Amino acid sequence: MKNSQINNAPKKITNKPAIGAAALALALLISALQSRTGEAAPAHAGSSAAGFKAICALINLAAQKPAPAVLPAATVEEIEETLALINLTLMAPQAVEELGKQGKTPINWDKEGTAVKQHCGAEHRSKCEKAKKRASNHADAAVIAAARKLQKATGTAEAVHSIIVAINKALAEYSTQSKAAVDMSITSDLEQALGTKTDATAAVKLKGAQTDRATTCGNPGTNTKGKAAGVSLAVDIICLCGSDSTSGETNDACTLKTQTGNIDYASSEKDVKDEWDKLARECKEQYPQTPLTAKALRTALLTFDTEVAKSQGTNKNIINTLGYIAGAGTNGCDGSNGATHGACVYYGKDNAKKNPLQPAWRTHITNAIAKLQATEDATAKAHSAAARLETLNNTLTSLIFLGAVSSQKTHQATETATQSKSREIYAQEAAKKECEKANCKWKGWESETKVD
């Protein structure tokens, strides 16, 4: 047998303890080296995509400003002015006449001896101004002409007064609800949740950041939350999806179309606005933007809560973590791919009962939800009040026209009765004269007695 053949022949393996220990040590070393190689790699693609989607829904909504309430303000204003003119016409027609004569000349509200001074004092000034405004263009309107004919003593006038009271009540309700339909503080709540201004001009910093990414973003293997976790939506999405020089420059855990630049997760002072802007744009591009409403924001928050509450890790005992974490999570949310690593945000647990802690920005979101709901409810109530106003206004107009017709008939009936009485008196006077000519003693229509 040749030497080469001897050298290539299978050797008998002996299980000597010393050799076994060396092999085991070598295996552990190789395993450790492989683990270190894994730690340097970015979190595997798509591992935190679900968390990215959940936080994007909140960011897309929080970046919007509440839509202005759409209210029938012009219609209500017209009804209010018409009511003021009708009411003044019924109560003080002379004041309406005086206001009409003023034209565009400034009104002397305190001129002595005028109906304006009597009926348009400080308490009623606003209504008189509305009446004048309406009278300038609608003084000859049919309903105003009808109101002039309405008699205060009739039953119709009392009904008209009741409707006017109801209209004033509906106007007050509309005024209250239309003001409540606007709340400028909602934008402030949303910006505080975002951690920046919606106009994308303010700096964004990792407030509370310390040491490294895992310290800043959290370690799910402990109870302690990340030092910057939950400070704002902007910080959380940077923890979840950002790249850095340690975990890898192409972190694709969130399936970004364009990865961020390297972020210094140990600094609480560096402005990371540019990286935030990239992530905010990704949210808008990847997920359809839903209009901001209380329901939409409430739904987005519920989706986020559900995502964070998912059990993760080897024993499924890691919760309150946004994004992916592997194994026991002991290496924390460092953005790496490995047995106990991940790209995530950890919000922590309280030490006593181990209950999940909530991110600080959540309070601002819930405040915004409550305020949005209040404005939406107020808008609905304002529309309801406006609808009542239109109905009452139509009823008032009909009553005034009916009252004017009734007043006219009453006037005509009175005039006819007066004319009949006049004719009767005239006939009696004529008969008396004829009787006297015939030497009669006049006793009205009862009898005639001749005098010899």
Residue 199 corresponds to which amino acid?
A: D
C-alpha of 386 from chain center: 19
Q: What is the pLDDT of residue 452?
A: 43
Residue 7 corresponds to which amino acid?
A: N
Give the mean pLDDT of 36-61: 77
Q: Which helix (H) or strand (E) holds 344?
A: strand 344-346
Q: Is the pLDDT of residue 135 over 80?
A: yes
Q: What is the pLDDT of residue 430?
A: 55
Domain ranges of the chain: 37-61+187-365, 75-151
Q: What is the pLDDT of residue 368?
A: 99
Q: Is the pLDDT of residue 101 over 90?
A: no
Reported pTM: 0.76
Please give the DSSP secondary-structure letter assigned to residue 28: H
For 94-185, list the strands marked E by DSSP.
none
Give the mean pLDDT of 163-176: 94
Rounded alpha-carbon distances, angstroms, from residue 319 to 55, 279, 354, 414? 16, 25, 11, 90
- Band (pLDDT 50/70/90 cuts) for residue 402 is confident
**Residue located via tokens 């400070």:** 231
pLDDT 10s digits, 15-41? 444 444 444 443 433 333 333 333 445
Q: Decide which of 297 and 147 is more confident.
A: 297
pLDDT 10s digits, 205-230? 999 999 999 999 999 999 999 999 99
Q: What is the pLDDT of residue 419?
A: 44
The CA distance from 86 to 165, in Å, is 13
Q: Provide the phi-psi class of 385: left if phi over 0, else alpha when psi is between -120 and 50, else beta.
A: alpha
- Residues in contact with 442: Cβ distance below 8 Å, sequence separation at least 6, in sequence order: 431, 432, 435, 436, 448
Please give the DSSP secondary-structure letter assigned to residue 414: H
- Residues in contact with 448: Cβ distance below 8 Å, sequence separation at least 6, in sequence order: 435, 440, 441, 442
Q: What is the pLDDT of residue 13?
A: 36
The answer to whether 52 and 324 are in contact (CB under 8 A) is no
Q: What is the pLDDT of residue 427?
A: 52
Q: What is the pLDDT of residue 156?
A: 75
Strands 448-450 and 440-442: antiparallel
- Band (pLDDT 50/70/90 cuts) for residue 376 is very high
The CA distance from 370 to 161, in Å, is 40
- Band (pLDDT 50/70/90 cuts) for residue 152 is low
pLDDT 10s digits, 349-371? 999 999 999 999 999 999 999 99
Q: Is the pLDDT of residue 373 over 50?
A: yes
- Band (pLDDT 50/70/90 cuts) for residue 433 is low
DSSP states along 76-100: HHHHHHHHHHHHHHHH-HHHHHHHH
- Residues in contact with 293: Cβ distance below 8 Å, sequence separation at least 6, in sequence order: 372, 376
The CA distance from 194 to 302, in Å, is 17
Give the chain's length: 452
Give the mean pLDDT of 185-201: 90
Q: What is the pLDDT of residue 416?
A: 43
Please give the DSSP secondary-structure letter assigned to residue 287: S
pLDDT over 70, % of the chain: 76
How many C-alpha atoms does 276 have within 13 Å on its Cβ side? 25
The CA distance from 151 to 139, in Å, is 19
Q: What is the pLDDT of residue 401?
A: 81
Q: Is the pLDDT of residue 277 over 70?
A: yes
The SS3 of residue 72 is coil
Beta bridge partners of 318: 312
Q: How many CB atoms lie within 10 A of CB 262?
A: 16
Q: Is the pLDDT of residue 57 over 50?
A: yes
- Band (pLDDT 50/70/90 cuts) for residue 202 is confident
Residue 354 corresponds to which amino acid?
A: K
**Residue located via tokens 């990792």:** 206
